[in-house]
Structure 1
Amino acid sequence: MPANVTIRSLAQQLGVSVATVSEALRNSPRVRPETRERVHRMAEKLGYQSNPLLGAALSAVRRSRHHGFSGVLGLVDVTIDEHTELMLFHREVVRGAAARAQELGFRTEVFWVGPKPPALSVTRLNGVLRARCIPGVIFLPFDRRQDFSAFDLSQIAAVGMDHRLLQPSLHTIQPDHYLSMRRALDLLTARGYQRIGLALEARKDERVDHKWSSGFISFFRVSGHTLAVPPLVTPKLNQKTFTTWFKKHRPDVIIGHEQAMIDWVEALKLRVPDDVGFFRINVTERSRPCAGLDLLPHRLGATAVETVVGMLHRREQGVPRFPLSISLDAEFVDGPTLRAAP
């Protein structure tokens, strides 16, 4: 094995230009997949190792000279019918991803997977990504569990944005729902609330691996505060179910995802926030001003892009042996649905 394998010596061995080897080692879509594979095989055979500090410096130099285009990153969402429209939260994730991708020399494109056109089948998506030499994919948060085991990731760097992706198991970027709930309860108890109620549809809690409800219950178990109101986690959260629970337990503040709860409280001749407070667990999708948690979808999208681009620079493709999870703390957003801080 040569003592000092360089990009130039790799190029000589392969009979290609130095630029081609450099681009191939960065998994650039400018290089044909078969050429990239040949370069990677030779680099591995000869024991080539890149210098990450030098690579970072050269990348900075390239960015200072011009805004180069490195390729497209795919953002994958799922639809159960022919409708392909992003939810508000997903739109912010996509905006954050697009903005960060542009800074790093990429652009993003949304791809829909589903049973009906214009959505693509998993097999068709694979073909499109391969034909267009798209090197990286981000799976957007899914409403239902999804199985992409038929998806070929052998030449793709990919991350997920929740644990609704059953297969394959990927690096994941997501809000820290559990810790964010506990910190929200710290804030609410500091405001003087003593009968804190949690009202959720079961599927909303399930899609975050029950971290909302478990964070709620564990707070009272370890904080010394009394769990005065049992959480309402129900298959269908409607006015009748909510009102029955509310009348029985009389919470002085409600944590929930359904802003209609404000109307349901006011229908009982109570005022928000004078009589009862309301705290929304995802303010991105609020329909009017309220206090709650900002799950930072813009930052989540940016972090997902940074992770994929880092994987591309390290030539990490396929299913990771040890999937990592990156969790972002939510931020508290004050609003007119809580009484003022003392």
Structure 2
Amino acid sequence: MKPPAPVTMSDLARHLGLSTATVSRALRHHPALPSATCEAVRRAAEELGYRPNPMIGALMSQLRQRRPRALVNLACLYAEESAGNLVQAERDMVAGFQAEAARLGYHADAEPWPPPAGDEDGLVRRWQARNVRGIFLLNVRADRNLNLPWEKFSWVVAGNMAGTPALHRVGNEIHQIVKLALEETLRLGCHRPALAVPLTGERRQGLRWAGAFYGNWLDLLPNAGEPPIFRGPWHEDTFRQWLHAVRPDAVLALTDDVLAWLEHAAPANALKPRFIHLAANSSRFPVPGVCQDFPAVGAAAAQMLDGQLRRNERGIPAEPTTLTVAGRWQPGPGLASGTPSNSASSAA
């Protein structure tokens, strides 16, 4: 007795009264089709026992990769209200994203979040009208879960963002950056480095900077006691109180305001802790620290979206991946232990 013939896509199309092309698109969650159609096709495929032929799927994927993509667009959604020197970092990521997208054959727009008048539906309609298929979410702040049609697009997120499902992510290698900064700080002769990062941003990042500092501290300074981390409100007076209580000989930080606070923390000619920047290429001053390659992070986002589009992957991935970019050490004058300094500008 012959085994039953496998259910084909043509069988599925006849059962549903749809064209084979529509069924094929629905099984790939094509953004041009209504979600209800895609769901109906998926349910029918399960009921009839339809299984895609992997050899045909691989062949079609190769054919789709050879098609010109001049009409396919990408978009970068960034936080309009970004503050401080993080603005330049985000600009660098956008520039890297757009340059790599152009190299790969796409056009990439950058749009602020939230959209004008809070019109999220209008934003999605504009994406669809421009044939945008992939979205790069760049540090979008959200006080609630983002209500975006995840199933219609390919997505990549920068860092850890509240309000989003588990998506593919790109970012800087925080553990490596902190380890490199600590190793170089110890090489400079410091023995008690500390960490100071804004708590609000840390929570959005899942306390990854503090976690990386804590873990690397235990590896590099196993007998030095509890690692000193500034956890108070992000204000100069609070920082000064913490500094006098902890008395570190170096402070690792992400922002230039810590440099100014260190300048004001002690009288002239007093010994001051070294200032080590964890994003030295974002600083207004030639300070020592680790340079984060923000353009490379943006370029990696474009590459990840390109890979998803080539594989016709949309929506929330079953197994999200994370791609990180390492930092490099940048020497610089900054504030040195045992060296008096009179102003933040003198560090330049």
Q: Structure 2-normalised TM-score?
A: 0.74
Q: Distance in 2 between matches of 1:216 and 1:123?
A: 41
Aligned to 1:194: 191
Aligned to 1:96: 96
Aligned to 2:233: 235
Aligned to 1:261: 258
**Aligned pair partner of 2:124 in 119, 122, 126:** 126
Q: Match of 1:187, SS?
A: helix
Q: Match of 2:57, SS?
A: coil
> CA-to-partner distance for each residue in 1:164-194, whole Å, 9 max, x for gaps?
1433321111122233212321221122110
Check whether the contact 1:291–1:335 (CA below 8 A) recurs between aligned residues: yes
Aligned to 1:20: none
Check whether the contact 1:155–1:317 (CA below 8 A) recurs between aligned residues: yes
Q: Distance in 2 between matches of 1:171 and 1:33?
A: 23
Alignment of 1:254-293 (within 5 A): 254-267=251-264, 268-269=266-267, 275-293=272-290
How many residues matched? 309
**Aligned pair partner of 1:49 in 49, 52, 57:** 57
Relative to structure 2, which stretch is displaced further, 166-175 or 220-229? 220-229
Q: Match of 1:251, SS?
A: coil
CA RMSD of aligned residues (A): 4.0
| 1:72 paired to 2:44 | no
Alignment CA distance shift 1:165-1:201 (3 Å): closer
Q: What is the identity, as a one-letter code, of the residue corresponding to 2:98?
A: A
Aligned to 1:10: none
Q: Distance in 1 between matches of 2:310 and 2:269?
A: 55
| 1:333 paired to 2:341 | no
Aligned to 2:177: 180
Q: Distance in 2 between matches of 1:336 and 1:146?
A: 43
Alignment CA distance shift 1:93-1:80 (3 Å): closer
How far is the alpha carbon of 1:144 from its aligned partner?
Answer: 4.8
- Aligned-pair identity (%): 21
**Aligned pair partner of 1:139 in 137, 140, 152:** 137
Q: Match of 2:251, SS?
A: strand
Alignment CA distance shift 1:126-1:213 (3 Å): same
Q: Match of 1:234, SS?
A: coil
> CA-to-partner distance for each residue in 1:252-307, whole Å, 9 max, x for gaps?
111112323333333323569x8531111222431222122222110010000000
Q: Which runs of 5+ in 1 are unaligned?
A: 6-13, 17-22
Check whether the contact 1:196–1:251 (CA below 8 A) recurs between aligned residues: yes
> CA-to-partner distance for each residue in 1:46-100, whole Å, 9 max, x for gaps?
73223499569x75xx89xxxx62421011124479x9xx921110010000110
Q: Match of 2:317, SS?
A: coil
Q: Distance in 2 between matches of 1:144 and 1:291?
A: 33
Aligned to 1:108: 108
| 1:305 paired to 2:305 | no
Aligned to 1:11: none
Check whether the contact 1:182–1:216 (CA below 8 A) recurs between aligned residues: yes
How far is the alpha carbon of 1:210 from its aligned partner?
Answer: 0.8
Q: Distance in 1 between matches of 2:113 and 2:196?
A: 32
Q: Which runs of 5+ in 2 are unaligned?
A: 10-18, 42-49, 338-348
Check whether the contact 1:113–1:125 (CA below 8 A) recurs between aligned residues: no
Alignment CA distance shift 1:260-1:210 (3 Å): same
Q: Distance in 2 between matches of 1:211 and 1:289?
A: 26
How far is the alpha carbon of 1:227 from its aligned partner?
Answer: 4.1
Alignment CA distance shift 1:229-1:244 (3 Å): farther
Q: Match of 2:302, SS?
A: helix
Q: Distance in 1 between matches of 2:169 and 2:254?
A: 23
Q: What is the identity, as a one-letter code, of the residue corresponding to 1:49?
A: G
Check whether the contact 2:79–2:139 (CA below 8 A) recurs between aligned residues: no
